[in-house]
Amino acid sequence: MTNYQDPETVLTLNNVPVKILHTEALKAEGKVYIVLDDSDTIPVVTINAPRSVVDALEADNVVATADLYNLTPDNTVPIVLTTNKYSDAITHISGSINQVSLSIEDEKTGTLTITPAVSGSVADGYEIGQITMDQNQVRVTGPASEVNNVASAGVTVDMSDTENSINTYAEIHLYDRDGIDIDIDKNLKLNIDKVMVRVEVLTVKEIPVKIAVSGTPAEGYRLTGETSVEPGRIKIAGKKSTLETVDSVSIPSSELSVAGMRKDFVKNVDITKYLPEDVALASGQSSSIKVTIEITEKETEEE
């Protein structure tokens, strides 16, 4: 008999998730599953029920499950559909798909070293110093095929226009052999998802290079007084408080002895040996300084 006051009608719901039950059965065997073709989401669920029931139902009231105890030889699991209320009043419920398709694999855990990196450019007059983390390894667990696809792990901190050192938690990303970011979905699990990263920001300062010459050229030769230092100025990096006390760097006379020389003295000097403690060359600055000291033959006096 038709109830004209509460006629049967149809409710259509989209993208209903399916809960996989009894996953521990596979885990006990050292196996894990991968859902194929997004089959753990039912594109369309149709419910036939009296209008009063349909009006009271929402998407959260639909319960879709797939029990791994019912796994078939071809690795599919039947989907069971019901509702968590008014189930006795529902005439019919069905989904546009009726099974979840799985790939069953061995479970694997791999350990990766986390590589830190920065993005963006710090403010003018500054540069990146040391980058440290509170831990540098992450464990990745999941299906063997997906774990094997992970080639590296890294974190990136945005340092755009920064003038100060930064301490922050950065999210761990996984990358394949081509450096492409891997989506860490429900198939892969990390033992940690973030690490504390400290990025040091150093002040950059430009200072002159000074030289001191020792010794006397060979008999009959003299210094012209002309010298060349290339580059004559260098960029150094360090803490602001340290650089405030550094106005120049000097190459000592022990490096630049012209004793017994009969031609121009030319020498490449490693300037890093003469930088103050806690001061380094700025990024991109060559450590080699070329010093040229001109020597010429003395003029002979006419009788």
- pLDDT tens track, the chain, 303 positions: 456 678 989 999 999 999 999 999 888 889 999 999 999 999 999 999 999 999 999 999 999 999 999 999 999 999 999 999 999 999 999 999 999 999 999 999 999 999 999 999 999 999 999 999 999 999 999 999 999 999 999 999 999 999 999 999 999 999 999 999 998 877 899 999 999 999 999 999 999 999 999 999 999 999 999 999 999 999 999 999 999 999 999 999 999 999 999 999 999 999 999 999 999 999 999 999 999 999 999 886 544
Distance between CA atoms of 296 and 221, rounded to whole angstroms? 6
Give the closest residue to 20 by CA, choosing from 78, 84, 95, 93. Answer: 78
Question: Any idea what DSSP says for residue 214?
Answer: B
Question: What phi and psi values does residue 271 have, to the nearest 5 degrees?
Answer: -70, -20
Residues with Cβ < 8 Å from 169, sequence gap 6 or more? 194, 195, 196, 197
Distance between CA atoms of 210 and 230, rounded to whole angstroms? 11
Q: Extract the tokens encoding 212.
A: 């001191």
Domains of the chain: 8-97 (2.170.120), 107-201 (2.170.120.40), 212-297 (2.170.120.40)
With beta carbons less than 8 A apart as the criterion, state whether 53 and 16 touch: no
Query: Distance between terminal CA atoms of the chain?
Result: 144
Give the closest residue to 48 by CA, choosing from 10, 105, 97, 17. Answer: 10
